[in-house]
Structures are given as C-alpha cells and as structure tokens.
C-alpha cells in the first residue's frame, strides 16, 4: 500500500499536467476565445474548465480540495454539455480527481 498511494497520486498528477498541456496547445493553435460573445452554455463550460484547472493546481497543496474541484468542474462541464462522457480527454480529469480523493481517504485512514 505504501508504494501504491504515491503511484496513484503521480498518475493523477500526470493526467492533470497532460490536460493543462493539451489546453495550452489548443489555445496557442486556435487563439483566445472572445469571452463577451459566449452563450450561457459556453460560459458554464468555462466555469467547469476553470474549476478543473484550479483543482489540478490545488491538489499539489491540498489533495482533497483539488480532487473535489476537479470532479466538480467535470460535473459542471458535463451538465453544460448535456452528457455524462464529454469527449475523450475530460473524463480523465474526473478519474484524476477521484484518485486524489481516494489517496486522501487512504492516507487519512492509515494514520488511525
């Protein structure tokens, strides 16, 4: 178990890092969006995306907070899209967030 927890934590971190790199590459290739022209759906998607990104960086300090933000961001994005599995990349953020929450729970329970 002692080697499994760090492995799960780093798998989740790598998923988050790859997500951010893909997002940056996408923004560099297509340019920044015009925020004032967003529809309500696009605004909700942006909120979900910002929650996911915030969670990716928060988990380095607080695993539980970061994991929950990643999950919440995915759920907001999925509600805006109107479907559970949104694309090929976004479900991995949900998985990474769930891994962070699981690692936090296991670490917390192992100290008792």
| Least confident residue range of 5-9, 16-20, 28-32, 62-66 | 28-32
Rg (CA), the chain: 15
Instruction: Tell me the average pLDDT across 78-93.
Output: 83
Total domains, the chain: 1
Tell me which residue range forms the domain holding 11.
4-110
CA distance 24 to 107: 32
Whole-prediction pTM value?
Answer: 0.85
Closest residue by Cα to residue 49 from 28, 23, 82: 23
Per-residue pLDDT at 1: 64
CA distance 110 to 58: 23
Question: Is residue 90 very low, low, confident or very high in pLDDT (cuts 50, 70, 90)?
Answer: confident
């Amino acid at each position: 178990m002692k080697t499994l927890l760090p492995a799960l934590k780093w798998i989740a971190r790598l998923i988050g890092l790859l997500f951010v790199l893909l997002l940056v590459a996408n923004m560099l290739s297509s340019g920044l969006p015009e925020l004032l022209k967003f529809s309500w759906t696009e605004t909700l998607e942006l909120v979900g995306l910002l929650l996911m990104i915030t969670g990716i960086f928060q988990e380095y300090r607080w695993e539980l907070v970061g994991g929950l933000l990643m999950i919440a961001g995915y759920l907001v994005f999925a509600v805006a899209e109107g479907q559970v599995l949104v694309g090929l990349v976004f479900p991995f953020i949900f998985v990474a967030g769930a891994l962070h929450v699981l690692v936090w729970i296991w670490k917390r329970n192992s100290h008792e």
